[in-house]
Structure 1
Amino acid sequence: MALKRFRSLRPILSVIRQSKIYEQSIKENVVPKRSFSTATTGEDTGTVAGQTVASERRGSVVTVAINRPEVRNAVNQETARRLLEELKAFDSDPDLNVAVLHGKGGNFCAGYDLKELANHTTSLKLEQDVTKGPGPMGPSRLQLSKPLIAAVSGFAVAGGLELALLADLRVVEESAVMGVFCRRFGVPLIDGGTVRLPQLIGLSRALDLILTGRPVGAQEALAYGLANRVVPDGQALQTALELAQQISSFPQQCLRADRSSAFYSCYGAPSFTQAMQYEWDHGVPVIQSEAVSGATKFTTGAGRGGKFF
């Protein structure tokens, strides 16, 4: 009898559990402070007590991890500052080619920390000019010059979804959940969600997610183009690292020129003609710096049959 009664309560308990998860998903704005970057140390700072962001350098690839697993990696002011500093350090380091952003403890990011918002309301300073200072989640306003890959596990919702949208590519685990969960709190998407999401998946699908706030599973995210790869649980980080190493192995001037042109055509070009001119202007210099040597390699047999080298 008791077992039957427990089974009848399971749907209710599930709703309560999800509600607690959703309440982590809220955001605020922050003001930058001095850099705490560890990107050049070559050490995994996740083992240091009190570190809210952990970075580890692996050759020309750096991993940046949100390290607040006790709150599903919800971002507070310190974490936002640290994320901004780590990704700015990556972008300015000539020895790093690709960064991988992930969360420790099974979740990517559940948005902004609601407790932080409730306890520090009087200290909030909102930077209205998006060209100055950080976004609410830290690095969300950056336009990186090099690729960023998000390794998504668990929840990537509200501001956490917007952090995932900052990445060029998203490797998503099978049980991961994405969504605009802040919809239920009346919190707007001010970390690029309304800008990047329609460009990635189209306006119609983006509005479906933005207006309803509903959860999106990995397979639907893949079908939408929100996820670039779906992998078994526990494998997102390793797959993202392998992808990063592959991207890092290519001639970088050419790769960055093509990447920059793609971004410009989506976000900055006022016309087709100007987008084409940008592509030409930034691509031609690469011919002498990288394409000629690449063509020479091909003539000697490298890369024949579509093989990567």
Structure 2
Amino acid sequence: MTQLVQLTKEEGGVGVVCLTRPEVRNAVDGPTAAALVRAFAELDADPEVRVVVLTGAGGHFCAGADLRAQGTPRGNRVEPGAGGPLGPTHERPKKPTVAAVEGYAVAGGLELALWCDLRVAAEDALFGVFCRRFGVPLIDGGTWRLPRLIGLSRALDLILTGRAVPAPEALTMGLVNRVVAPGTALEQALELARQLAVLPQACLLADRERAYAGFALSEAEALREELASGAHVLATEESRRAIARFAAGAGRHGQQVPLDREPDQTPD
């Protein structure tokens, strides 16, 4: 049976999920969506994996849903309660997730990229709501996530026109976080993931959760939740050790400090 999604675990606490349908620009059909759910569930359950990179094989990230599979047993599920048609998109990733984008990230592929926390794109990558021209709606979180990432006016420009957005423009509007040389998106995304993986995780995850949750709260509610979460994190052994490392001189001048460095081990 053809492998639809490849899962690998890299050194440094990083997992990689790769769509492997390059013959259709990694378009996602029903079985591929299910394979994505399984891959992320496996990484979620692995305590050694702290950050995940999502990418696509063959020079493209993802061209969206495989429309040729609709109406067949391989079609994407779109009924209520079935989860995201492209797989995990109706649930927030449990671990920080970085999209490594080469080529097309369009239609549902754009929604997959938006689902990730961060996006690293090759300079010649292309984004867009290309499903607009085919009368296919955004149903993998695009109408919720895109306005929150880039603002309503810019989001409506993309949603209503379906126009192509080159990576440099995507960077200026906040749609992507890094633009890198063509062919290096995965390499650069892995480097970013490794940087995240060495940081104190309880604090990172708590602040990440509060950043997302704040969209549904008033300012006063968000501040109360932030304080309660922060107090909990500061009481953890991980935070106590991290503060002790700082007091001992580690992490000064922007240097990264491995999670397992002892408090009395200052960087060279």
Does TM, normalized by the shorter one, top 0.5? yes
Separation in 1 of the partners of 2:21 and 2:10? Answer: 22
TM-superposition CA deviations, 1:51-71 (whole Å, max 9, x none): 000010113111000000011
TM-score, with structure 2 as normaliser: 0.91
CA 1:219–1:125 in 2, change beyond 3 Å: closer, same or farther?
A: closer
Aligned to 2:252: 304
Aligned to 1:115: 68
Aligned residue identity for 1:153: E
Aligned to 1:46: none
TM-score, with structure 1 as normaliser: 0.79
8 Å contact 1:174–1:233 — kept in the other structure?
Answer: yes
- Aligned identity (percent) is 51
CA 1:99–1:125 in 2, change beyond 3 Å: closer, same or farther?
A: closer
DSSP-derived class of the 1:100 partner: strand
**Deviation at 1:288?**
2.3
Aligned to 1:126: 78
Separation in 2 of the partners of 1:126 and 1:203? Answer: 26
**Deviation at 1:192?**
0.3
**Deviation at 1:144?**
2.0
8 Å contact 2:122–2:167 — kept in the other structure?
Answer: yes
**Deviation at 1:143?**
1.5
**Deviation at 1:119?**
4.0
* 83, 88, 94: which one aligns with 2:47: 94
Please tell me whether residue 205 in structure 1 is matched to residue 160 in structure 2.
no
- RMSD over equivalenced CA pairs, Å: 1.5
Aligned to 2:125: 176
DSSP-derived class of the 2:3 partner: coil
DSSP-derived class of the 2:98 partner: strand
Aligned residue identity for 1:134: G
Separation in 1 of the partners of 2:253 and 2:125? Answer: 36
Aligned to 2:15: 62
Separation in 1 of the partners of 2:66 and 2:78? Answer: 16
8 Å contact 1:84–1:134 — kept in the other structure?
Answer: no
Aligned to 1:186: 135
Aligned to 1:105: 58
8 Å contact 1:51–1:67 — kept in the other structure?
Answer: yes
Unpaired runs of 5+ residues, structure 2, are 258-268
Aligned to 1:160: 109
Separation in 2 of the partners of 1:286 and 1:140? Answer: 28
**Deviation at 1:172?**
0.3
8 Å contact 2:84–2:90 — kept in the other structure?
Answer: yes
TM-superposition CA deviations, 1:84-128 (whole Å, max 9, x none): 11112222322211000000000000011122125448x765331
Aligned to 2:265: none
* 38, 49, 62: which one aligns with 1:85: 38
Residue correspondence of structure 1 range 1-309 to structure 2 within 5 A = 50-59=2-11, 60-117=13-70, 119-120=72-73, 125-129=77-81, 133-266=82-215, 268-269=216-217, 271-289=218-236, 290-309=238-257
8 Å contact 1:253–1:286 — kept in the other structure?
Answer: yes
What number of residue pairs does the alignment pair up? 255
**Deviation at 1:79?**
0.4
8 Å contact 2:65–2:76 — kept in the other structure?
Answer: no
Aligned residue identity for 1:148: T
DSSP-derived class of the 2:192 partner: helix
